Amino acid sequence: MIEVKNVSKKYGKFYAVRDISFTIKDGEIVGFLGRNGAGKSTTMNMITGFIEPTEGTIIVNGYDVDRKPKKVKESIGYMPEGTPLYYDLTVKEFVTYMAELKLIPRKERKAAVQKAITETGLEKVQNKLTKNLSRGYKQRVSLAGAIVGDPKILILDEPTVGLDPAQVIEIRELIKSFRKDHTVILSSHILSEVSQICEKVIIIDKGEVVAVDTPQNLEKSTTEKTILRLTVEDENDKFETIKDSISSIKNITFAGTNDDKSKEYVIETDENADIRKEMFSKCAELGVVILEMKKDNASLEDAFIKLVEDRPEYSEKEIEKMEYQKELEDLRKELEDKKEEKAFKKQAKKEEKARKKAQKEDKKASKEAAKKEKGGDK
Amino acid sequence: MFAIMKKEFKSYLLSPIGYIFIGLFLLMFSIFFIVTIFNYSVVNFEYLFYNGATILTFITPVLTMRMFSEERKNGTEQLILTSPRSLTSVVLGKFCAAALIMLITEAFTMIFFAILKYFGNPSLVVALSTLGGFFLLALAYISFGMFVSSLTENQIIACVITIGVFIAMWFLPGLAPALEPFSLINMFDKFPQGMISISEIITYVTFTILFILLTIIVLQRRKSVK
């Protein structure tokens, strides 16, 4: 389990990541989505303990990354961005070195290395120098370095960048096979990939978490209308009258005429309405021939764009202003707190004084009473 | 630590850097050997190390400049720093690998001792004390070079700064005699005379430890500013 609590990373005045929080359960495959510079790699680097957050805590399997880095790092396999490798080592030597760095006992090392090499399909090149490999193979070597020794958590920064389509599918299948007993966090630009592999998506934009949900839910949440694209042969220009006969049509727009004189239309309907059958029969009535009819499906891409584009864009000055205001507010709060404390102390002092006075009087009274009693005795 | 040392040592020998260092040192050393014997007719193994110290001042960065700069530039530092190995073991591993190359270089200089032994009768004890002092000087140099390498991702900058500081230290006593204790190379003078001076040994060792610690601190601090 990975818990990220109110984590921020600041470079000077610039926030690379601002106040993000999320939890990832064991065995989940989670995808980080975000534009370039959104803070995906920064977040991953903070989970691995490579960089320290400016604020907030990250807890991995019950251990604080900041306080028990060794315990955390033992359970993480990390494939950094840009596949850094030691170019003077061969594939096998590199993976062995990774195994040594990960404190895998000598007895198990050989088997672990061989397993990682086999899983990533590197047997044929295992004795080649890593610098002589193609980009796709370098990527795999980096992945092998991450999975050697079966760490419980895998953090993969853009694992399929630069691979050919066949390799992409292979690596995806490999990542899917980790599902049973690994927690996987991966970042990607390719949305279809994330929606295929991941059970959960975390969308990050400008250093903030915008959404955490399953890809399906995200896709659903953005569907407000259904769009139908039609190519028709309509010699008498009757098509647009169809709007009157089908009630759920909201809007028909003419998109253009093709070379063969067929016309293209985009039809917007209410959410979840499927008018394809109705459309077919009505068109037949009107004498309009449908050449092509296609329903647009909402994709994760739409969800992503909607979530990311809808966010307000602040200029640096505005951010500065906001920060300034926040600081002011903090100061004000502090002042108020101090005032309250002062008032409280004053009150306490007063009460203490009153109590002491009362005590004194009590003592006096009791003394006098004692004197009186003594006098009475005499 | 051992795993890192092994890998670093291997890297020295896989890339030409280790050979360049050893070769360059021995080449210049043998030139000085010939020159002193034939031109000045001084037959003394220990005195050669005065020149050795000068050579070392200029070629130590060959060993040290890449230590952390290269890793930072290639991004491989992410691999070591996210592994469960402690920073101390990473730094010590790299330091020991460089020290090992230095030891090998010194072992090769025994060839010159053997040549002299064939013709004359040099003292083995003085030779060993010289080698010991020379090794301590080398360790101090390596630890400083390593520290500079941890500061920058540019190997050339690391190299230039390291040599620059070494040369500055060399000529410091000329400015004021009080600066004598900061001149590592001048402190070496006593060893070839057969003197094993505690104060010099302590200075070398503290200097070495200081810069190893500073390297660890730099790497630790970089976590929060990176």
Residue to test with chain B: of A10, A50, A66, A129, most B Cβ within 10 A = A50
- Residue B138's pLDDT is 95
Task: Chain A: give the shortest CA distance to residue B85, in Å.
Answer: 6
Q: How far is residue A208's CA from residue A39's CA, in Å, rounded to a whole number?
A: 8
Q: Are residues A204 and A75 in the same domain?
A: yes
Q: Are residues A216 and A251 in the same domain?
A: no
Is A205 within a domain?
yes
Is A304 within a domain?
no
Task: Chain B: give the shortest CA distance to residue A299, in Å.
Answer: 35
Mark yes or no for CB contact B79/A101 under 8 Å.
yes
Q: Does B220 touch chain A (CB under 8 A)?
A: no
User: Which residue of A lies nearest to B224 if distances are taken between CA atoms?
Assistant: A52
* Residue pairs between chains A and B whose CB atoms are closer than 8 Å: 72
Residues of the domain holding A232: 226-297
ipTM: 0.89
Going by pLDDT thresholds of 50, 70 and 90, the confidence category of residue B21 is very high
By Cβ distance, the residue of B14, B15, B82 closest to A50 is: B82
Is A82 within a domain?
yes
Q: Which residues contact B95 (CB under 8 A, 6 or more apart)?
A: B142, B143, B146, B212
Is A64 within a domain?
yes
Going by pLDDT thresholds of 50, 70 and 90, the confidence category of residue B63 is very high
Q: Are residues A212 and A239 in the same domain?
A: no
Single out the residue in A221, A236, A265 at which a domain terminates.
A221
Q: How far is residue B119's CA from residue B4's CA, in Å, rounded to a whole number?
A: 43
By Cβ distance, the residue of A52, A80, A100 closest to B78 is: A80
Q: Does B223 touch chain A (CB under 8 A)?
A: yes
What CATH number does the domain containing A54 carry?
3.40.50.300
pLDDT of B35 higher than 80: yes
Residue at token pair 């050979």: B19
Q: Total structural domains in chain A?
A: 3
Q: Does A87 touch chain B (CB under 8 A)?
A: yes
Going by pLDDT thresholds of 50, 70 and 90, the confidence category of residue A315 is low
Q: Does A130 touch chain B (CB under 8 A)?
A: no
- Residue B95's pLDDT is 96
pLDDT of A248 higher than 70: yes
- Residue B65's pLDDT is 93
DSSP symbol at A315: P
State the amino acid at position A159 in one-letter form. Answer: P
A182-214 confidence digits (pLDDT tens) = 899 998 877 778 888 888 889 888 888 888 888
Query: Dihedral of CA B26/B32/B33/B38: which sign?
Result: positive
Q: Does A14 touch chain B (CB under 8 A)?
A: no
By Cβ distance, the residue of A50, A82, A87 closest to B81 is: A50
A78-118 confidence digits (pLDDT tens) = 999 888 999 989 999 999 999 999 999 999 999 999 999 99
For strand A183-188 and strand A29-33, is the pairing parallel, antiparallel, or unpaired? parallel
Going by pLDDT thresholds of 50, 70 and 90, the confidence category of residue B131 is very high
Mark yes or no for CB contact A101/B3 under 8 Å.
yes
- Residue A310's pLDDT is 67
Q: Where are the alpha helices (DSSP H) in A68-182?
A: 69-74, 91-101, 106-119, 135-147, 165-177
Residue to test with chain B: of A10, A41, A47, A51, most B Cβ within 10 A = A51
The chain-wide mean pLDDT, for chain B, equals 90
DSSP symbol at B83: S
- Residue A281's pLDDT is 84
Going by pLDDT thresholds of 50, 70 and 90, the confidence category of residue B108 is very high
DSSP symbol at A145: H
Name every chain B residue with its beta carbon within 8 A of the beta carbon of A69. 84
Q: What is the share, in percent, of chain B residues with pLDDT greater than 90?
A: 62
Residue to test with chain A: of B1, B2, B83, B225, most A Cβ within 10 A = B83
Q: Tokens at residue A128, please?
A: 């080649």
What Rg, from alpha-carbon coordinates, does chain B have? Answer: 18
The DSSP annotation for B130-148 comes to HHHHHHHHHHHHHHHHHHH
Residues of the domain holding B191: 2-225
The chain-wide mean pLDDT, for chain A, equals 85
- Residue A298's pLDDT is 61
Q: Count other Cβ atoms within 10 Å, centred on residue A71.
A: 15
Alpha carbon B41 to its chain's center: 29
- Number of DSSP helices (H) and strands (E) in chain A, helices first: 12, 14
Q: Are residues A361 and A246 in the same domain?
A: no
Q: Does A70 touch chain B (CB under 8 A)?
A: yes
Q: Total structural domains in chain B?
A: 1
Locate the DSSP E strands across A189-225: 200-205, 208-213
Q: Are residues A200 and A113 in the same domain?
A: yes
What CATH number does the domain containing A244 carry?
3.30.70.260
Going by pLDDT thresholds of 50, 70 and 90, the confidence category of residue A224 is low
Q: How far is residue A47's CA from residue A59's CA, in Å, rounded to a whole number?
A: 8
For strand A2-11 and strand A14-24, is the pairing parallel, antiparallel, or unpaired? antiparallel
Q: How far is residue A175's CA from residue A170's CA, in Å, rounded to a whole number?
A: 9
Name every chain B residue with its beta carbon within 8 A of the beta carbon of A54. 224
Q: How far is residue A216's CA from residue A300's CA, in Å, rounded to a whole number?
A: 8
Single out the residue in A221, A250, A283 at which a domain terminates.
A221
Residue at token pair 């795993």: B3
Q: Does B3 touch chain A (CB under 8 A)?
A: yes
A128-148 confidence digits (pLDDT tens) = 999 999 888 898 899 999 999
End-to-end CA distance of chain B: 24
- Residue B29's pLDDT is 93
Name every chain A residue with its beta carbon within 8 A of the beta carbon of B1. none
Burial (0-12, 13-18, 19+ Cβ within 10 Å), A340 = exposed
Residue at token pair 């003292």: B123
Q: Tokens at residue A111, please?
A: 């088997």
- Residue B46's pLDDT is 85
Q: How far is residue A118's CA from residue A124's CA, in Å, rounded to a whole number?
A: 9
- Residue A313's pLDDT is 63
Mark yes or no for CB contact A80/B7 under 8 Å.
no
Q: Are residues A125 and A85 in the same domain?
A: yes
A323-339 confidence digits (pLDDT tens) = 788 888 889 999 999 99
- Residue A78's pLDDT is 93
Is A307 within a domain?
no
A291-301 confidence digits (pLDDT tens) = 888 877 666 67
Q: How far is residue A162's CA from residue A171's CA, in Å, rounded to a whole number?
A: 12
